[in-house]
Chain A
Amino acid sequence: MTVLQLEDVVVDYHGRGGRVRAVAGASIAVARGQVVGLVGESGCGKSTLARAAVGLVPASSGTVTFEGRPVTPLGRRIRPAELVRLQLVFQSPYSSLNPRRTVGSQVGDGMRGSKPSGRVAEILEVVGLPSNAIGRYPHEFSGGQRQRIAIARALAADPSVIVLDEPLASLDASAQAQLANLLKRLARELDVGLLLISHDLAIVRHVADAVSVMYLGRMVETAPTTELWERPAHPYSGALIAAVPHADGAGTLPVSLPGEVPDPSHPPSGCRFHPRCPYAFDRCPMEEPPLLVLAGGRAAACWLQRAGEAPKPLPNLVGSDRVQ
């Protein structure tokens, strides 16, 4: 059952240079017990979408609903109590934890009413921290452990959905593996829905059940994780996968995607990806492809695909001068 649903969400930022459309109509849904990955390069709007999902930034249009109720943007009024069950974990546990308060009291913040220390210890155990962590301070912990404290804080509110913004970035491989396994366990054992924002498709693949790929404010592909990894339907997803370096000792250089993410205040005409797409043809700069629903629970916004059909594999370009 879908708990968190974003539909056609548009988020604009207003700055000196005028309006910047960070999210230009994106939809995503998270059910209880499900891990949904949201991937894309920096500047694609994925963090903005995460913030819109929890009401930290207002959506200019579109709807965000949580447990059937609209998510209202955070303002001066008290937040509706039921929204407590929608939690956000930030990227940097160094800045999201208060350095001068003990771990126990910060985890206790999320609980309503009395804060029995037994419950705090229980939550710390769930995230794999020793029970003596209660009386200690954030600086006594490593980056990976701090991230687990941040997750414990979110869990204290007994959430049905946690949105995690790049929780695995800036961690060493082993700490990253520990946290990735923990996230999977939270979804399976506590039936929490997770929206996992990451730029690292390789780690998302190990954690997420479904993945949405975002480019310049729009979803370009949505698919079950394994299918996306094995047969990407959108050239951008293909490029993200080909850019992942393999630690197999073979000495193969990863494939780079030429060009840069364009300025979101002046997106390219037609398909937003066409200036960087190795497969672009004459239709692409003219007409923007909608997110076409394909067979097998997949969707892709690409003119190479046809609605209702199985996704066509992307032509092999290795050795061609259109990839580097």
Chain B
Amino acid sequence: MSTLAVEGLRVRLPTPAGDVTVVDGVDYEVQPAEVFGIAGESGSGKTVSMLALLGLLPDGSSVEGSARFGEDDLISMPRRRLRSISGRDIAMVFQDPYTSLHPMLSVGKQLTEHVRLHLGLDRGRAEERAVELLTDVRIPDPHAALRRFPHQFSGGMRQRIAIAIALACRPRLLIADEPTTALDVTVQAGILRLLDRLRTEHELAVVLITHDLGVLSSIADRVSIFYAGRVVESGEREEVLRTPRHPYTRALLDALPHPEAPQEQDLVAIKGAPPTPGRIPAGCAFHPRCAYLLAECRTKVPPLVPAGDRLLACPPDPFSHL
């Protein structure tokens, strides 16, 4: 059974210029021990779609659809119950470990407060658990680390501590929003390896949000590519990234500095820029930037439908023969 099943998620956010649809009909499922990757450019709705599940959107936002987590629906459940689930059964790791940790509290305090609050452990047991967690995320000398403060750690170590806090209450679902974006590649590799080990050892379902297809490719099992609040292509990592069929997925991959490509070759940028929410083009949102459009692309919103080994929202399907 899947850990999380999202269906028909729609999010509208209030702006000075009126309500704006940011996520427009998104479905996905995540299984235990699986990493489900969501990729797309800034403003594609990937982060908002997660915040919506956790009730973290600003007042005045509207969320439709359902998000089944065990027996519950995260979207319709009372706020109080959602608050007790998030942080315990659902944990989050954000991009910036500088702001997600409290600068004035010791690492030990942040780890033990958390397990005492959610699991009701006494001080001694909570400290044992904290050491166990820091060991699990490979913080050297965990006993000493408990008495230190976030600024005494490097960015990579801080992200490890944030992951330890996320794991403290043995969550079933971990939402990681750009967890390695602020880190050096060498440190990023370490965090990706850590997440990969933890998901197997803890049977943890992971939703990984990233703009980096390299990160996605190294750890995700299944992926969805977001564009302007919709999923344009979804399937197994290997199929989607090796033989992309949506022109947008293909263009994103072509824009990357490919390690095997000849150095002299220019990178292929996608023409134009992603649309801002509220000014999404009619029809297929990608059509003004697409090299393969047909007349219908300008008027009809393409549905996400099964296409062989994947789901695809592109009726012309120009790469189906590959």
Which residues of chain A have a CB within 8 Å of any CB of chain B? 41-42, 142-145, 172-178, 180-181, 184, 199-203, 205-206, 225-226, 229, 239-240, 242-258, 260-261, 324
Indicate if the CB atoms of B218 and A203 lie closer than 8 Å: no
Which residues in window 195-214 of B have CB below 8 A to A?
Answer: 196, 211-214
Which residues of chain B have a CB within 8 Å of any CB of chain A? 41-42, 154-157, 184-190, 192-193, 196, 211-219, 221, 237-242, 251-253, 255-259, 263, 265-270, 273-274
A173: which B residues are within 8 A, CB to CB? 41, 211-213, 252, 255-256
Closest chain B residue, CB of each to CB of A260: B154
| Minimum CB–CB distance for A42 against chain B, Å | 6
A177 CA / B271 CA spacing, docked (Å): 11
A257 CA / B216 CA spacing, docked (Å): 20
A142: which B residues are within 8 A, CB to CB? 273
Indicate if the CB atoms of B41 and A174 lie closer than 8 Å: yes
Indicate if the CB atoms of A251 and B237 lie closer than 8 Å: yes
A226 CA / B265 CA spacing, docked (Å): 13
| Minimum CB–CB distance for A39 against chain B, Å | 10
Question: Can you list 20 pairs linking A and B with CB atoms under 8 Å apart?
Answer: A41-B184, A143-B42, A144-B273, A173-B212, A177-B257, A177-B268, A201-B185, A202-B214, A229-B259, A243-B185, A244-B185, A247-B214, A247-B253, A248-B241, A249-B237, A249-B238, A249-B241, A251-B238, A254-B189, A257-B186
A103 CA / B219 CA spacing, docked (Å): 42
Indicate if the CB atoms of B185 and A200 lie closer than 8 Å: yes
Indicate if the CB atoms of A253 and B41 lie closer than 8 Å: no
Tell which of B212, B219, B237, B251 touches A253, judged by Cβ atoms closer than 8 Å: B219
B186: which A residues are within 8 A, CB to CB? 41, 239-240, 243, 256-257
Indicate if the CB atoms of B189 and A184 lie closer than 8 Å: no
Tell which of A42, A242, A247, A257 touches B155, judged by Cβ atoms closer than 8 Å: A42
Indicate if the CB atoms of A247 and B267 lie closer than 8 Å: no
Indicate if the CB atoms of B242 and A249 lie closer than 8 Å: yes
A250: which B residues are within 8 A, CB to CB? 217, 238, 242
A184: which B residues are within 8 A, CB to CB? 266
Indicate if the CB atoms of B251 and A226 lie closer than 8 Å: no
Indicate if the CB atoms of B154 and A249 lie closer than 8 Å: no
Indicate if the CB atoms of B256 and A261 lie closer than 8 Å: no
The SS class assigned to the B binding surface is helix
A201 CA / B217 CA spacing, docked (Å): 18
The 6 closest A-B pairs by CB, nearest first: A249-B241, A245-B214, A256-B189, A177-B267, A256-B190, A247-B213
Name which of A174, A229, A244 has the most chain B CB atoms within 10 A of its CB.
A174
Tell which of A200, A245, A255 touches B215, judged by Cβ atoms closer than 8 Å: A245
| Minimum CB–CB distance for A248 against chain B, Å | 6
Indicate if the CB atoms of A240 and B185 lie closer than 8 Å: yes
Indicate if the CB atoms of B237 and A181 lie closer than 8 Å: no
Given A248-B242, A249-B242, CB of A172 within 8 Å of CB of B42 = yes
A248: which B residues are within 8 A, CB to CB? 217, 241-242
A229: which B residues are within 8 A, CB to CB? 259, 263
A42 CA / B154 CA spacing, docked (Å): 10
A245: which B residues are within 8 A, CB to CB? 185, 188-189, 192, 212, 214-215, 217-218
B217: which A residues are within 8 A, CB to CB? 245-251
A143 CA / B256 CA spacing, docked (Å): 18
A37 CA / B251 CA spacing, docked (Å): 26
Given A246-B214, A247-B256, A260-B156, CB of A180 within 8 Å of CB of B267 = yes
Indicate if the CB atoms of A253 and B196 lie closer than 8 Å: yes
B192: which A residues are within 8 A, CB to CB? 245, 253-254, 256
| Minimum CB–CB distance for B131 against chain A, Å | 21
A249 CA / B242 CA spacing, docked (Å): 5
Indicate if the CB atoms of B255 and A174 lie closer than 8 Å: yes
Other A-B pairs beyond A247-B217, A247-B258, A257-B189, 7, CB < 8 Å: A174-B251, A181-B269, A202-B257, A245-B214, A250-B242, A256-B190, A261-B154
Tell which of B154, B193, B212 touches A324, judged by Cβ atoms closer than 8 Å: B193
Closest chain A residue, CB of each to CB of B241: A249
| Minimum CB–CB distance for B136 against chain A, Å | 16
B156: which A residues are within 8 A, CB to CB? 260
Closest chain B residue, CB of each to CB of A176: B255
Indicate if the CB atoms of B185 and A205 lie closer than 8 Å: no
Indicate if the CB atoms of B238 and A247 lie closer than 8 Å: no
Given A245-B215, A248-B217, CB of A254 within 8 Å of CB of B188 = yes
A242 CA / B214 CA spacing, docked (Å): 13
Closest chain B residue, CB of each to CB of A245: B214
Name which of B258, B265, B267 has the most chain A CB atoms within 10 A of its CB.
B267
A198 CA / B160 CA spacing, docked (Å): 24
A256: which B residues are within 8 A, CB to CB? 186-187, 189-190, 192-193
Given A243-B186, A261-B154, CB of A252 within 8 Å of CB of B41 = no
B257: which A residues are within 8 A, CB to CB? 177, 180, 202-203, 205-206
